[in-house]
Structure 1
């Protein structure tokens, strides 16, 4: 593959820049390169805005090695890609290219990136930003089960046997893309919202965007009892990677652990379908570790043209520093959420949030 000819296309030694366009090859190549929700074209189009977006492509032996979709916000070049790993050499090439091409920008921002910087010639700020729990899946469902701790294996086996005995007609169903009907999606989202409300927050999912995403790259699962959804998951698939969007379960079945059963059986099905990674999302919930999830952390990164430009944008630097401190405080509270003081803080936050949403 070679760069598509375009009057807006500029090519440097290692990279190409497509201004005010995202070429047709970019969508499939983003999936091939990253296999991640937050660096996919459907995510950009539905949850971000590609209006006025541009595209940078680095090449090696005729194939893209990295693709960054970006926009300009005042004097900042903001990269839309998130939750990816980029080495220092690639970042240096991209940064040099952009600062040379666009004299009006003072800084380049990545919202969530995994990288190690040692010799980058530009001033940088780098702080912890986002996290998710990721399971590296083995080749068989049996191997996945064997990888879990003995207590977890015993617990899910007990719950599965108990619920099948209590509800002989219970079954699991799995659907992809266009096979996921709106009734399924609405019911799972409603169950999820009811669970969130039980924790004191009146929140509504963006049904339109989630439904559109599910039709393009969705994977949904449900535990059915008497034909009704007792628990369900909405996820997205990119290549061999699966990303949990939300989990909902009927509170009437709480004592049976329907949510745990749904997560466990869904992951086993993903393994059967050839999945190599399963991302359970952020939030420090114990079930994510019990199901084999490992914490994957990403940093926000700002690269400045020079030290003088960094000083000229002191509000940007200070804002990033304060945001990092707030995120660190939230992480601390989540890790100690069972402490009385942490519960008090969260209850106050949920109360304020609920009033603002009304």
Structure 2
């Protein structure tokens, strides 16, 4: 097999790697557009290009965090020989580096030349798109087809002024995008939660829409009542924001908007629709399939693994806790399971969710006067990190209705 050649570019992400990043990984959180908008393409970000002959087989963007290297392009499939070649080059070139972190990767290698630890950390709910809307409808469950038809008929019968449009890039109205964001904030405030979308994040969303956005907007009497904000990378689409007005809770607007968006993606010959993380029922009803993602740590030696023993234990523990939570959520979606253990898990999970909602409500109700409104409007003093993958970012769920 031909060897892998490694080239390093310090404090730079060369223009020529932009196309391979999209082509090789086809994911939002590896795309140049995303990293440009979120400020990851400047000083402090380094690039490793791996080639076999003249062909680029991998591009790795990374940063230094003390004695640790953190890979920042995520949701990638890195073959074991690529991980080995990258690690070998990093450890040889930077003697003080003891561990390399791949916060979110699509594949966990079975073996590497260096000691490593892997743990599941999050998920991506992905719909593989058929070639036509008719094929998609045929694949949907009978109850889902009935649900969509019933609510569309109810919507047109009770609210005849309803209309919807889908626009791309610059054709999407800034006012519509901001209206969807405000609906998201209001929805989260109604659940006694903080929306992650502060003013800075709203501006970043608008920049992303201009670069690669697809926006579906539903209006009633000319006013935005629901919508989705999505991004395109290569031939895949990614759901960023979904929201609807609480006044129309009885019309299933969130699910209907998502269905309309998926049909638009099919019409554009897309390959996949990514709901991203968050195990909400509507994602599975619309045929999303869960893909578990892992956090990989690669160590210089067994000694470095032992020296980082406490962090390694926490890493494994978080992975086990993710698996337990994921197992419980899976059981909660299968109420036909007759196992006592599974029924107990379901009731336990629901009980924990109720406790969390009560705590959230108490926390929001006892904030200083005005702070709840500021958080909902995104004008709080403390800026929150954008919702994204990785160990340094928050765990806000994507696509909460």
> Normalized against structure 2, the TM-score is what?
0.81
Matching residue of 1:3: none
How many residue pairs align between the two structures?
347
1:207-246 mapped onto 2 (5 Å cutoff) = 207-246=202-241
Q: Distance in 1 between matches of 2:263 and 2:190?
A: 29
Matching residue of 1:44: 35
Residues 1:308 and 2:300 aligned together: no
Matching residue of 2:247: 252
- 1:342 CA drift (Å): 3.1
Report the 3-state secondary structure (helix = DSSP H, G, I; strand = E; otherwise coil) of the residue aligned with 1:212.
helix
1:1-358 mapped onto 2 (5 Å cutoff) = 13-47=4-38, 49-50=40-41, 51-205=43-197, 206-328=201-323, 330-331=325-326, 336=346, 339-348=350-359, 351-352=362-363
Shift in alpha-carbon separation, 1:302–1:19, aligned structure 2, 3 A: same
**Does the CA contact (< 8 Å) of 1:333 and 1:342 recur in 2?**
no
**Does the CA contact (< 8 Å) of 2:192 and 2:360 recur in 1?**
no
| Greater share of residues in strand | 1
Q: Distance in 2 between matches of 1:221 and 1:353?
A: 31
Q: Deviations over 1:123-149 (max 9, x none)?
A: 111001111110000000111111111
Q: Distance in 1 between matches of 2:22 and 2:190?
A: 37
- 1:20 CA drift (Å): 1.5
- 1:353 CA drift (Å): 7.8
**Does the CA contact (< 8 Å) of 2:78 and 2:105 recur in 1?**
yes
Q: Distance in 2 between matches of 1:318 and 1:48?
A: 32
- 1:219 CA drift (Å): 0.9
**Does the CA contact (< 8 Å) of 2:28 and 2:238 recur in 1?**
yes
Q: Distance in 1 between matches of 2:350 and 2:314?
A: 29
Q: Deviations over 1:1-56 (max 9, x none)?
A: xxxxxxxxxxx942221112111112222111111101111222333633311101
Report the 3-state secondary structure (helix = DSSP H, G, I; strand = E; otherwise coil) of the residue aligned with 1:339.
helix
Q: Distance in 2 between matches of 1:353 and 1:84?
A: 38
Report the 3-state secondary structure (helix = DSSP H, G, I; strand = E; otherwise coil) of the residue aligned with 1:25.
helix
Q: What are the ranges of 5 or more consecutive residues in structure 1 without an aligned counterpart?
A: 1-11
RMSD: 2.2
Matching residue of 2:386: none
Shift in alpha-carbon separation, 1:48–1:112, aligned structure 2, 3 A: farther
Q: Deviations over 1:173-203 (max 9, x none)?
A: 1111122222111100111111112222132
Report the 3-state secondary structure (helix = DSSP H, G, I; strand = E; otherwise coil) of the residue aligned with 1:85.
coil
Q: Distance in 2 between matches of 1:263 and 1:338?
A: 27
Q: Distance in 2 between matches of 1:321 and 1:170?
A: 50
Q: Distance in 1 between matches of 2:53 and 2:224?
A: 50
Q: Distance in 1 between matches of 2:113 and 2:203?
A: 44
Report the 3-state secondary structure (helix = DSSP H, G, I; strand = E; otherwise coil) of the residue aligned with 2:278.
coil
Q: Distance in 2 between matches of 1:155 and 1:103?
A: 60
Q: Distance in 2 between matches of 1:319 and 1:49?
A: 27
Shift in alpha-carbon separation, 1:15–1:296, aligned structure 2, 3 A: same
Q: What are the ranges of 5 or more consecutive residues in structure 2 without an aligned counterpart?
A: 333-345, 381-401
Q: Distance in 2 between matches of 1:119 and 1:326?
A: 24
Q: Distance in 1 between matches of 2:274 and 2:207?
A: 20
Q: Which moved more, 1:25-34 or 1:283-292?
A: 25-34
**Does the CA contact (< 8 Å) of 2:12 and 2:46 recur in 1?**
yes
Q: Distance in 2 between matches of 1:332 and 1:114?
A: 19
Report the 3-state secondary structure (helix = DSSP H, G, I; strand = E; otherwise coil) of the residue aligned with 1:278.
strand
